[in-house]
Amino acid sequence: MSASWNNPMSGFDRPGIMPLSAGAHQPSDGHALHAPVLVLNASYEPINVCAARRAIVLVLKGVAMTEEENGHYLHAARLALRVPSVIRLLEYRRIPHQTRALSRKNILLRDRNTCQYCGQVMPSGELTLDHVVPRSRNGASTWENLVACCHPCNRRKSNQLPGEAGMKLMREPRAFNLHTSRHIMRLMGSDNSWRKYLFF
């Protein structure tokens, strides 16, 4: 990852940024840039999870600061950047609505990449979305009517209700609200540095 700034030395006074000559560091690999990072509001309330690459951009832009690090470094230009595991926004952001946007990504995140009929955990690319009440029966595209589903279960269910196909949902689908988001954050937290922030 390369970075260009008008003054590449201006960031040395920020926490987590130092010249490469400062010493030997544990290098970062590609996986470290995709590691989940907990995002806190300025009030220390957990509000999101993003990839480490995005978190580094927020820190470099002065939008957020690093609260916890994961031990890896990213070499960019003449700098060594500590890869964060928790960042905090410097300005408080109001969360206008407690429900996340309805999207395929968020449905799979809510359902933990697990088929809601057979319970198999699969990569995102191998899952589809199923309308519990089929669209052919006026089933709506809502949080309460969409679930993660593997392709074999999707074909088996077809245009039927689960009971008609002899299938049963693992759990009742609900909106992905802030409480659900925090539960997912707990599941995604890969180190103990998250735990003290997830007290809600």
CB environment 150-184: b (16+ within 10 A), e (fewer)? beebbeebeeeebeeeebeeeeebeebebebbbeb
Indicate whether 17 belongs to any domain: yes
CB environment 105-126: b (16+ within 10 A), e (fewer)? ebbbbbbeebbbbeeeebeeee
87 and 14 inside one domain:
yes
Indicate whether 1 belongs to any domain: no
Residue listed under structure tokens 């999870």 = 49
Label residue 154 by pLDDT band (50, 70, 90): very high
Kindly report, residue by residue over 68-127, the tens digit of the pLDDT: 998 888 776 677 778 999 999 999 988 765 566 788 988 988 888 899 999 999 988 899
Least confident window among 63-72, 90-99, 139-148, 177-186: 177-186
> Residue 169 belongs to what domain range?
104-176
105 token code pair: 């990504």
109 and 55 inside one domain:
no
Tell me whether residue 14 is exposed, middle or buried, using C-beta atoms within 10 angstroms of its C-beta: 0 to 12, 13 to 18, 19 or more.
middle
Residue 65: per-residue pLDDT: 96
Tell me whether residue 148 is exposed, middle or buried, using C-beta atoms within 10 angstroms of its C-beta: 0 to 12, 13 to 18, 19 or more.
buried
109 and 68 inside one domain:
no
d(CA 45, CA 96): 15
Label residue 9 by pLDDT band (50, 70, 90): very low
110 and 36 inside one domain:
no
CA distances (Å), 87 to each of 44, 71, 133, 196, in order? 9, 14, 40, 13
Q: How many CB atoms are closer than 10 A to CB 80?
A: 20
d(CA 154, CA 159): 9
66 and 133 inside one domain:
no
Indicate whether 4 belongs to any domain: no
15 and 91 inside one domain:
yes
Indicate whether 37 belongs to any domain: yes
Residue 130: per-residue pLDDT: 97
User: Does residue 67 surpass a pLDDT of 80?
Assistant: yes
Higher pLDDT, 87 or 6: 87
Residue listed under structure tokens 């957020």 = 64
Query: Which of 95, 112, 136 marks a domain boundary?
Result: 95
Residue 112: per-residue pLDDT: 82
Indicate whether 123 belongs to any domain: yes
Residue 66: per-residue pLDDT: 95
Indicate whether 119 belongs to any domain: yes
Structural contact between residues 3 and 60, judged by C-beta atoms closer than 8 angstroms:
yes
Indicate whether 135 belongs to any domain: yes
14 and 64 inside one domain:
yes
Query: Which of 95, 121, 137 marks a domain boundary?
Result: 95
> What pTM does this model have?
0.51
Query: Which of 78, 95, 112 marks a domain boundary?
Result: 95
User: Does residue 10 surpass a pLDDT of 90?
Assistant: no
Residue 148: per-residue pLDDT: 96
Indicate whether 32 belongs to any domain: yes
Residue 19: per-residue pLDDT: 46
For residue 168, give the CATH number of its domain.
Answer: 1.10.30.50
* Closest by CA position to 185, among listed 31, 48, 34: 48
86 and 17 inside one domain:
yes
Number of domains in the chain: 2
59 and 120 inside one domain:
no
Label residue 29 by pLDDT band (50, 70, 90): low
